[in-house]
Structure 1
Amino acid sequence: MGAVMQRSMPAASRLHSEAIQFRIILAATYPFFLAAAMVQRVRPGQAPRRGLPAVRRSVFGEAKAMAVSAIPFAFMG
């Protein structure tokens, strides 16, 4: 049982390290995604799609969603 605990510790440590790296990258890239979200709001948008309700997040929520969807690509490879 002790051997199982020792094997899982490096995996837990690695997950913790990756979580910290994700937060650092999120903090570093968030301003760029915030600027992109602001630009999207200012420029004329596309016509709304028919049949789908218009869901609009805050600019900050949109920036976080863009960052969270793009950052995993940094961990690929």
Structure 2
Amino acid sequence: MSRPFVTVSRSRSEQVQFRTILAATYPVFLVAAVLQRLRPGRDAVPPGPRRSVFGEARAMALSAIPFAFMG
């Protein structure tokens, strides 16, 4: 059985890059999540459990970061 083209060290470096970008962007998304909550006249809250501001910021960051790895 042959080894995949991606080596373990490359995979590890991509994990480090991902975590670094997450740490750098999380505060920006945290501010955005807080501002969304404080905005007057915001849209109705969708049904179901509501995420915390921190969870919302993490979800926004995790959905945006993969675009940095495209290309």
Normalising by the smaller structure, the TM-score range is 0.7 to 0.9
Quick check: which one's helix share is greater? 1
Residue 56 of structure 2 is aligned to residue 62 of structure 1? yes
Distance 2:45 2:20 in 1: 35
Structure 2 gaps of 5+ residues are: none
TM-score (norm 1): 0.78
SS at match of 1:54: coil
Gaps of 5+ in 1: none
Question: Please, what TM-score do these two structures have when normalized by structure 2?
Answer: 0.84
| Residue-by-residue CA offset, 1:16-70 (whole Å, 9 max, x unaligned) | 1111100000001111000000000001321245xxx233111111100000000
- For these two proteins, the number of residue pairs brought into alignment is 70
Overall identity of the aligned pairs, in %? 66
